[in-house]
Amino acid sequence: MDKKNNENLMEKIVSLAKRRGFVYPGSEIYGGLANSWDYGPLGVELKNNIKQLWWKRFVQSRDDIVGIDAALIMNPKVWEASGHLATFSDPLIECKACHYRFRADQIKGLVITQLPKDEYNQTHSFSLTNSFCPNCKTPGDKAFLDSKISKFNLMFKTFIGPAEEQANVAYFRPETAQAMFVDFKNVLDTTRKKLPFGIAQIGKAFRNEITPGNFIFRTREFEQMEIEYFIREEEWEKWFKYWQKEMIDWIKELGVDTKKIHEAEIPDNERAHYSKRTIDFEYEFPFGKKELYGLAYRTDFDLKNHEKSSGQNLKYKDAETNEEFWPHVIEPTWGVDRSVLVALLEAYREEKDRVVLKLPLKLAPYKAAVFPLLANKPELVKLARKIYDDLRKDFMVAWDDRGNIGKRYYSQDEIGTPFCITVDFDSLEKDDVTVRDRDTMKQERVKISGLANWLNKKLGK
């Protein structure tokens, strides 16, 4: 797909998302808030379906992983011990013409040729070939030459209690991982798990990104699905490879064409401070090849540092040998919002006179829609309403009696509803309905009494 079509695809997804209730601009009636998005009635169902599918696959269906749900605000000493206060930052640069600020390492054509590690607030050398300010388009030699790079910490700061003073400073968590390390001993004591085992969590994280963008791809408030998998050091390569495959298998379950997935090995000088090896699973987004998920080998960095900082014993004790040691950790991370975006991009189709979202059945917001053939026939409406009320006890089901039946079909196609159930005059006599398939558009008659079982079978339940 060429650049123009890629841009058009992204525009179509954003338009469909708002028009049909997947994603709305945040605070829109007040002019919005930069890169703030709200999930609408269909978006929250898609998002929840992704999270539930992930939880079932990686927690419910396994006996070596347990879940937690930790607080968003933690003791600030957590972030000191984890290294976030010292290192969780991006290089920031300001355009001299418009005074807009950017991440220095993401300006096209601007190459930092001299940036000693951890040295900021000083002038650096640049290669400015074909570079320009992304905001005002001023050429790079005027916008950035002799500019200083400052260290911009990405954590959102807040205060606990009524006094806004240094002693009351706290932070919204920039990742979900640290709670799993801080709660490691509690989980171990209450579950008696043996290595290898994992702790899983789904939850919000907050990063004060300098340049968020591309719809829900990069936002300051986002949701993660994450596992910290505790292992013996000598087995890290085996388990890294294992989780590498697990992540690819999940990507397939999400309905993603794996030909669009690229595994990028992150070099030493670009990895996070805690990582010995990191792989990014990159996806071919319309705006370029970008990170979708990540897999990191965090060694024993976190448990060791939290033990040193807290004074609490965070070692694992082998019940058979009585050996005590800090487990090493493999960390697979999945972004919920990016999963939603990729699911929409992969499912979007334009076919002749219809737009259709061919979402995997388990992800579809509504599993079925129920129609009376004619809205002005009380006997059809009454039966259709009974079927609708019965089915929605167990399934997310839509009701639609607007316009002609063809328009209703296409309306449901556009939001990804797999099956449309129509009550017609034959239904009154034969106790069956017409069920139309979203993807093939083929129809079949199904007994009303067997509809729930039919749907369960189609959904793989």
Average pLDDT, the chain: 90
pLDDT at 212 over 80: no
> Considering the domain boundaries, does residue 118 fall inside one?
yes
Clarify whether residues 249 and 225 are in a common domain.
yes
Q: What is the CATH number of the domain that holds 418?
A: 3.40.50.800
What is the domain extent for residue 97?
A: 89-153
- The pLDDT > 90 percentage for the chain reads 72
> Considering the domain boundaries, does residue 20 fall inside one?
yes
Clarify whether residues 288 and 376 are in a common domain.
no
- The pLDDT > 70 percentage for the chain reads 93
Q: pLDDT at position 234, please?
A: 97
Q: pLDDT at position 114, please?
A: 47
> 130-139, 365-374, 406-415, 420-429: lowest mean pLDDT where?
130-139
pLDDT at 1 over 70: no
> Considering the domain boundaries, does residue 82 fall inside one?
no
Clarify whether residues 206 and 267 are in a common domain.
yes
440 HSE (CA, 13 A, CB side): 6
> 96-110, 122-136, 168-182: lowest mean pLDDT where?
122-136
Domain boundary among 318, 346, 374: 346
Q: pLDDT at position 149, please?
A: 77
Clarify whether residues 25 and 145 are in a common domain.
no
Average pLDDT of the residues in 31-57: 95
Q: What is the pLDDT of residues 155-196, one digit of tens each?
A: 888 899 887 777 788 989 999 999 999 999 999 999 999 999
Clarify whether residues 398 and 331 are in a common domain.
no
Domain boundary among 137, 153, 169: 153
Clarify whether residues 134 and 190 are in a common domain.
no
- Tokens of residue 403, six digits: 């316009």
pLDDT at 367 over 50: yes
Q: pLDDT at position 17, please?
A: 97
Amino acid of residue 175:
E
Clarify whether residues 187 and 287 are in a common domain.
yes
- Our count of domains for the chain comes to 3
Closest CA to 299 of 388, 233, 222, 371: 233
Clarify whether residues 432 and 376 are in a common domain.
yes
Q: pLDDT at position 2, please?
A: 52
Clarify whether residues 164 and 249 are in a common domain.
yes
pLDDT at 125 over 60: no
Domain boundary among 312, 346, 380: 346
Q: pLDDT at position 157, please?
A: 86
Quick check: 331 and 381 in contact, CB under 8 A?
A: no
Q: pLDDT at position 458, please?
A: 94
Report yes or no on whether pTM surpasses 0.85: yes
> Considering the domain boundaries, does residue 77 fall inside one?
no
Q: What is the CATH number of the domain that holds 269?
A: 3.30.930.10
Clarify whether residues 196 and 139 are in a common domain.
no
Q: pLDDT at position 460, please?
A: 86
Q: pLDDT at position 415, please?
A: 98
Clarify whether residues 165 and 314 are in a common domain.
yes
> Considering the domain boundaries, does residue 352 fall inside one?
no
> Considering the domain boundaries, does residue 296 fall inside one?
yes
Q: pLDDT at position 121, please?
A: 46
Average pLDDT of the residues in 283-310: 96
pLDDT at 129 over 80: no
Average pLDDT of the residues in 21-37: 92
pLDDT at 341 over 70: yes
Q: pLDDT at position 115, please?
A: 47
Angle CA(284)–CA(289)–CA(295) in degrees, nearest 5?
A: 95
Higher pLDDT, 166 or 327: 327
pLDDT at 293 over 50: yes
Q: Please write down the HEC assignment for all residues of the chain.
A: CCHHHHHHHHHHHHHHHHHCCCEEECCHHHCCCCCCEEECHHHHHHHHHHHHHHHHHHHHCCCCEEECCCCCEECHHHHHHHCHHHHCEEEEEECCCCCCEEEHHHCCCCEECCCCCCCCCEECCEECCCCECCCCCCEHHHHCCCCEEEEEECCCEEECCCCCCHHHEEEECCCCHHHHHHCHHHHHHHHCCCCCEEEEEEEEEECCCCCCECCCCECCEEEEEEEEEEECHHHHHHHHHHHHHHHHHHHHHCCCCHHHEEEEECCHHHCCCCCCEEEEEEEEECCEEEEEEEEEEEECHHHHHHHHHHCCCCCEECCCCCCEECCEEEEEEEEHHHHHHHHHHHHEEEECCEEEECCCCCCCCCCEEEEECCCCCHHHHHHHHHHHHHHCCCCCEEECCCCCHHHHHHHHHHHCCCEEEEECHHHHHHCEEEEEECCCCCEEEEEHHHHHHHHHHHCCC
> 78-87, 230-239, 297-306: lowest mean pLDDT where?
78-87
pLDDT band for position 245 (cuts 50, 70, 90):
very high
pLDDT at 333 over 90: yes
> Considering the domain boundaries, does residue 80 fall inside one?
no
Quick check: 342 and 256 in contact, CB under 8 A?
A: yes
pLDDT at 418 over 90: yes
> 124-133, 145-154, 395-404: lowest mean pLDDT where?
124-133
Higher pLDDT, 254 or 138: 254
Clarify whether residues 342 and 260 are in a common domain.
yes
Q: pLDDT at position 126, please?
A: 52
> Considering the domain boundaries, does residue 137 fall inside one?
yes
